[in-house]
Amino acid sequence: MDKNNPIGIFDSGVGGLTVLKEVGRILPAENIIYLGDTARVPYGIRSAETVTRYSFECTEFLLRQDIKLLIVACNTVSAISLNKIREKVPIPVIGVIEPGARAAVNSTKNKKIGIIGTEATIKSSSYLRAIKSLDGDIEVCGLPCPLFVPLVEEGWTSGVIARLVVERYLKDIMDKGVDTLVLGCTHYPLLKGVIQDVMNDVCLVDSAIETAKVVKDVLAEMGMLIVRSCEGRRKFFVTDSTEKFINVGERFLQSRIEDITKIEL
């Protein structure tokens, strides 16, 4: 394997761009291929069998691009299918749940952590297990917020509608007295400003940052880090409208998305 081979990232939509952004910030020289399965978003309302089938189709596509490492930038897939993917592929596979759980445990002072995510992620109890494995005394409160993903996909990440939806969902978790809140879906950081306003002084954990650190460590261990001054290539694939993806994606990345292709899985 050549160290110039790209890092592969997939998510059900634009949410995984939070991970791409952090990986690109920490490892600017790396080449990155991003796949957004936008035709079938959201994954969080699908059955476990369907999520697993979708995730293997995304994985197989990226493997055909000769990637050197795979990031599963979807919390739903990380919760349901991550170990199955790891068993089947010959390269390192990194999810977003374990890094986020570790950051939350390090952050909490009162040992009360909230998790918000899709219905599938919360139902899987993956964050609960990951946090409890690190500190069994921590109280964990999970809350599904299914409307957050379509809000982000529509680009409604601020304003009155976003504020009302966030307030309605987070009221119960605020009453639990958590001091740390894990954004348990890669779409949710796009709503971070509104969520922070509603949650006041509660610490928000964005697992994208911790995931990017793990990626750097794994590549360094493999001797596969690219060391150069120029910026790596960014290539995007989507399964639905490129125009809609660009509109939302550029606003979040604050950079142009130029090399993008629509595909079928």
Q: CATH topology of 7-95+209-262 equal to that of 97-207? A: yes
The model's pLDDT over 52-97, given as tens digits with 9 standing for 90+, comes to 999 999 999 999 999 999 999 998 899 899 999 999 999 999 999 9
> What whole-number distance in Å separates Cα of residue 20 and Cα of residue 26?
10
Annotated catalytic residue 185: yes
Partners of 205 in the β-ladder = 182
In CATH, the number for domain 7-95+209-262 is 3.40.50.1860
Distances, alpha carbon 152 to alpha carbons 125, 176, 185, in Å? 24, 26, 11
pLDDT grade for 216, boundaries at 50, 70 and 90: very high
Pick the catalytic residue from 58, 141, 145, 185: 185
| pLDDT average, residue stretch 142-156 | 88
| pLDDT average, residue stretch 209-219 | 94
Pick the catalytic residue from 58, 74, 203, 230: 74
Whether 153 shows a pLDDT value over 80: the answer reads no
Its pTM stands at 0.87
The model's pLDDT over 14-55, given as tens digits with 9 standing for 90+, comes to 889 999 999 999 999 999 999 999 999 888 788 989 999 999
Express as a percent the part of the chain with pLDDT over 70.
100
**DSSP code at position 46:** S
Fold for domain 97-207? Rossmann fold (3.40.50)
**DSSP code at position 90:** S
Annotated catalytic residue 58: no
Give me the pLDDT at residue 111, please: 97
Domain boundaries, the chain: 7-95+209-262, 97-207
> What whole-number distance in Å separates Cα of residue 162 and Cα of residue 160?
6
